[in-house]
A and B are shown apart, each in its own frame.
Chain A
Amino acid sequence: AQTVTQSQPEMSVQEAETVTLSCTYDTSESDYYLFWYKQPPSRQMILVIRQEAYKQQNATENRFSVNFQKAAKSFSLKISDSQLGDAAMYFCAYRVDTGTASKLTFGTGTRLQVTL
């Protein structure tokens, strides 16, 4: 069974600084997708970034980028120039690519605080 581990229950970063959230996963599959979702106090799940396992290039979305290490099964999220609006729960998620609808497996989450 696939598992997703987030070892940092809470992180804190000062506004305008950079923070990295860690995620590791366990799988025997070769084709899969990895995601970072943000859940603000509104509890709406928002996709931050996605990474296809077959792509060596790390995905980036504006201030958000990932460090995808396939051999190490590591998928960290870097948030640059942190803003107060980045404060939220962040979930790492995994989905195997079977060509049909596949379920997401979520990590336990990291609560990010952004301070002035």
Chain B
Amino acid sequence: GAVVSQHPSWVICKSGTSVKIECRSLDFQATTMFWYRQFPKQSLMLMATSNEGSKATYEQGVEKDKFLINHASLTLSTLTVTSAHPEDSSFYICSAREWRGIEKLFFGSGTQLSVL
């Protein structure tokens, strides 16, 4: 099956620094990728939809200047958490859309971000 690689798996950073998370589709082209956030023992909440070659679409309440998304190629989307604060600590998951007559979504393994 299709594979989505998400890196890093976990990251610890100091408050005020920026962190970049990468999401790669390894064996298919993904024109659309999605970024989710998951708090402990809670569901996945969609943050934004990343479209290759265009600006991301953010969900209501998500700060676009805080969570910068870049989808510069058909296999890579990045999420940068800028000026991270402890409240940004969370589990971030990406998914990539594969379209071959039927739409399938494949998830990355997630990134645990801890901001000190």
Contact = CB atoms under 8 A, between A and B. Distances in A.
A and B bind: yes
Interface of A: 42-47, 91, 101-109
Interface string B29-55: 001101000100011111001010000
Interface size class of B (residues with CB under 8 A): 20 to 34
Contact of B49 (A45, A103, A105, A107): A103
Interface in B45-89: 45-46, 49, 51
Nearest to B44: A106
Given A101-B49, A101-B103, A103-B49, A45 B43 contact: no
Contact of B43 (A43, A103, A109): A109
Given A101-B31, A101-B32, A101-B49, A43 B91 contact: yes
B95 interface: yes
Interface of B: 31-32, 34, 38, 42-46, 49, 51, 91, 93, 95, 97, 99, 103, 105, 107, 109-110
Interface of B is mostly: strand
Given A44-B110, A45-B107, A103-B49, A108 B34 contact: no
29 contacts: A43-B38, A43-B93, A43-B109, A43-B110, A44-B109, A44-B110, A45-B93, A45-B107, A46-B107, A47-B105, A91-B43, A91-B44, A101-B31, A101-B32, A101-B97, A101-B99, A101-B103, A102-B103, A103-B34, A103-B46, A103-B49, A104-B44, A104-B95, A104-B105, A105-B46, A106-B45, A107-B43, A108-B42, A109-B43
B33 to A, nearest CB: 9
A108 B38 CA distance: 11
Nearest to A91: B43
Contacts of A106: 43-45
Contacts of B43: 91, 106-109
